[in-house]
Amino acid sequence: MAAAAFYDLDGTLVRTNLVHAFAFSARNQQGILKSITKTIATLSSVPLFMAADFFNRRLFNDIFFVRYKGESEDRLRCLAQELFDTVLKPSIFPGAYELIDKSRQLGLRQVLVTGALDLTVQPLAKHLKIDEYVTNRLEFVDGYATGRLLPPVVAAASKASWMRIYAEKEKLNLSDCYGYSDSMSDLPMLSVVGHPTAVNPDLRLRNTALQHDWPILDLR
């Protein structure tokens, strides 16, 4: 395969995001009181998450993933399949299946490049028949999350850096590759491929796509 299709995940192929995945974990804590407390804390923090994400994706990561501190690795892994079945699978955009199928028919490698956690992405990627992906990974010490991410952190410009390294390693020409994302924060990712596409784009990305005459898709 001489080229690849690189996909962002949240907002691009699925309507959910990192907060939905964490909220599911919060609702399924051991003990009703702990579940209620963590759920309320998560909901009250949504405006902060949105503001941080708008300003800087790395800032969002610093603020958001610390919420996982103290979570059991075993429990998160046990919840992963249930999270997929009840939250993620129903949230896959109808057009995502067709886009991936057409891309695969063109002979393109299917690659997810996402800031979501590996625990979340694994069953989803399997369902979408996407074999290659790069994700964020929580750091665990003695079986419990520290609230930090293992390097490299996948966000914004680092996605583009990973794609360049991947393409060089796999001998792919990025000019022949395709990129799909919904967010202006992924402009670096879209800019390094020869065929960028704005998918369900936010206002800033839509305007950028129109200025550069990039295709705009609505998979919803």
Q: Which tens digit of pLDDT belongs to each residue from 87-108? A: 999 999 999 999 999 999 999 9
* E-state strands within 76-158: 109-117, 132-136, 138-141, 144-149
Q: What is the rounded CA–CA span in Å between residue 58 and residue 63?
A: 9
Residue whose C-alpha is closest to residue 154's, from 140, 138, 131? 138
Predicted local confidence at residue 28, as pLDDT: 74
The rounded distance, in Å, linking the Cα atoms of 173 and 177 is 7
Q: What is the per-residue pLDDT for 20? A: 86
Dmax over CA atoms of the chain, in Å, equals 53
pLDDT digits (tens, 9 = 90+) for 155-209: 878 999 999 999 999 999 999 999 999 999 999 999 999 999 999 999 999 999 9
Quote the pLDDT of residue 143.
96
Collapsed DSSP state (helix, strand, coil) of residue 16: coil
pTM (whole model) above 0.95: no
CATH 3.50.50.60 correct for 4-217:
no
Distance, in Å, from the CA atom of 33 to the CA atom of 84, rounded to the nearest integer, reads 24
CB 117, CB 123: distance < 8 Å: no
pLDDT in tens, 45-86: 666 556 556 666 666 777 788 889 999 999 999 999 999 999
Q: Token digits for 177?
A: 């590759």
- What is the average pLDDT across 105-123? 95
Segment (H or E) for 7: strand 4-7
Residue 131 pLDDT level (bands cut at 50, 70, 90):
confident
36 — pLDDT class (breaks 50, 70, 90): low
Comparing 7-11, 41-45, 182-186, which segment has the lowest mean pLDDT? 41-45
Q: Residue 188 has which token pair?
A: 């670096």
Q: Which residues pair with 132 in a beta bridge?
A: 111
